[in-house]
Amino acid sequence: MTTSCALAISVLASTQSQAITVTEKAKKLAQENILVDTHIDVPYRINKKWEDVTQATKNGDFDYPRAVQGGLNAPFMSVYIPATLDNSDQSIMLADKLIDYVEAIVGRAPDKFAIARSPEDVRQQFAKGLISLPMGMENGSPIQGDLANLQHFYKRGIRYITLAHSQSNHISDSSYDLRRQWKGLSPFGKELIAEMNKLGILVDISHVSDDAFYQAIEISQTPVIASHSSLRKFTLGFERNMDDKMIKALGKNGGVIQINFGSTFVTKGANAWSKKRGADFKAAEQKLGKDSEAYKSFSGNYVKENPLPYATLDSVLDHIDHVVELIGIDHVGIGSDYDGVGDSLPVDLKDVSTYPNLVQGLLDRDYSDEDIIKILGKNFLRVWQENEDYASKF
C-alpha cells in the first residue's frame, strides 16, 4: 500500500500501544542481524513534505534514530509512482526525482546511510554500521513500454519493480482495478519480466491481479517477491492480498512474501472498515458536493465517530504463522509499508523503532533464533542473491 499505496487514512490516535516486555534477547536479535524491510515509502513522503530523515522527525514512521532503535539496517526505499501517471513522461520524471531524494539522504549523512545495489552491498554496509538504502519501484509505469528505461532505472539502483499499482497499466492488470484489459500481463509485460530476470531486477507481484500473478511466476526464471502483501485468509474477498493457492505457488517458485503491517491488510474488521469508509465518502460526495462545507464537516468528523479497529501485533504474527504452516519458514519476511498506510498501523508496530516487538512476539510463539533471522532478512537476501546469480549469466 502507500500514501503511495492505499487510501489515505486519518484515524483516532486514542488506541495506544499496549505494554510489551521486550527481552534483551529480542533486542539483540534485532540489532545484531540484517533486518530487511522491503517497502518503506520515505521518498514519496518527503516529496509531499520535505523532512530530513537523517535526523529525528516529528512526522512519519521512519527516521535515522528510530531505525537505529529498531535495528532496521536495510529498508527498501519505495519509488512510488501514482497510477494516474501511466502513459505519461511525468512518471519517468517523478521516478528520477524520488531516486534523487534517496541519493540526497545518503549525501547528507554518508556516515549513516549508503545506497545498496546488491545483497553484498547490504552485508558490507551492515559490517560498517551503515544503514543500506536499496530501492524498489512501486508501479512499473516509468518503464513506458521501452526497455531502455528499464536499463536506465537499473543503473540508478532500482532492484525490484512492482508491475502495477492501483490501476491496470501498460504492463499488468491490477488487483484494485475491475478493468482486466490484459487478462493478466500485457504482451510487453511478459517481455519485461524476461528482461528483468536478465538484469537481476526482482519481479514484485504485490498489487497485481491473480491472473497476472500466475503468469508472472510461470514466465520468471527466478524467484519472485511480494514486497508488501498479506494473506487473503484473514481478509476474505480482498484480492490485493494473496490466497493460500497463490502462497503455495509462490513457495514452489522459491519466492518470498513480505508481510504488510497495515491494519486494513491484516484483519477482517479493519478491512471492512476501510471498504465502508470508501463507500460512505463516495455517497457523501455525491449528496453534499466535495467542495461543500457540509462535506468538509463530514470528512473531518468521520473517524471520530467511526474509529478504525486497529490490528495488533498478534494479528501480524498470525499472517507469518500461516505462511510458515503452508510453505515453510524460508518464504516469509517483512514488508511493513511504513510511511505508506497512513495512521492505520497496528498496535505495537507503529513505526520503525518497533521491530523488537515483532521479534519478541516471534520468540513468544517459539520461533527459533535461526527462524527469526530468516524472517528478518535472510530469506529475502537469498531470493535477491538468486536473482543476481541468474543475471550474472548474461
Q: What is the per-residue pLDDT across 305-363, written as a single tens digit (0 to 9) for each? A: 999 999 999 999 999 999 999 999 999 999 999 999 999 999 999 999 999 999 999 99
The verdict on residue 285 lying in a domain is no
| pLDDT for the residue numbered 18 | 55
Q: Residue 5: what pLDDT?
A: 39
Band of residue 370 on the pLDDT scale cut at 50, 70, 90: very high
Q: Collapsing DSSP states into helix, strand and coil, what is residue 48?
A: helix
Q: Is the pLDDT score of 218 beyond 60?
A: yes
Mean of pLDDT values over 277-288: 93
Specify if 214 maps to a domain.
yes
Q: Is the pLDDT of residue 7 over 60?
A: no
Q: Is 16 a residue whose pLDDT tops 70?
A: no
The C-alpha cell 511480494 sits at: 226
Mean pLDDT value across residues 11-34: 77
Mean pLDDT of the chain: 94
Is residue 208 one of the residues assigned to a domain? yes
How many structural domains comprise the chain? 1
CA pair distance 260, 4, nearest whole angstrom: 14
| Section 207-216 average pLDDT | 98
CA distances 376 to 60, 210, 302, 330, 359, Å, are 22, 27, 37, 11, 9
Q: At 138, which CATH number?
A: 3.20.20.140
What pLDDT score does 142 carry? 98
Quote the domain boundaries for residue 172: 24-267+309-391
The DSSP result for 64-121, as a single string, is HHHHHHHT--EEEEEEE--GGGTTSHHHHHHHHHHHHHHHHHHHH-TTTEEE--SHHH
In a domain, 282, yes or no: no
Domain annotation covers residue 337:
yes
Residue 107: count of CB within 10 angstroms of its CB:
11
Mean local confidence (pLDDT), 185-193:
98
Where is average pLDDT lowest: 113-127, 287-301, 354-368? 287-301
Provide the CA 199 distance to its chain's centre, in angstroms. 22
In angstroms, the Cα distances linking 46 to 37, 89, 317 are: 19, 21, 30
Nearest to 165 by CA among 129, 127, 205: 205
Q: Are 36 and 122 spatial neighbours (Cβ–Cβ below 8 Å)?
A: yes
pTM of the model: 0.94
Q: pLDDT by residue (tens digit) across 240-262? A: 999 999 999 999 999 999 999 99
**In the prediction, which pLDDT does 4 show?**
39
pLDDT band at 141 (very low <50, low <70, confident <90, very high): very high
- Model confidence at 6, in pLDDT bands (50, 70, 90)? very low
- Kindly give the pairing relationship between strand 135-138 and strand 158-162: parallel
Going by C-alpha positions, the residue among 237, 81, 40 that lies closest to residue 167 is 81
Residue 13 confidence (pLDDT): 35
Inside any domain, residue 31: yes
Average pLDDT over residues 2-31: 63
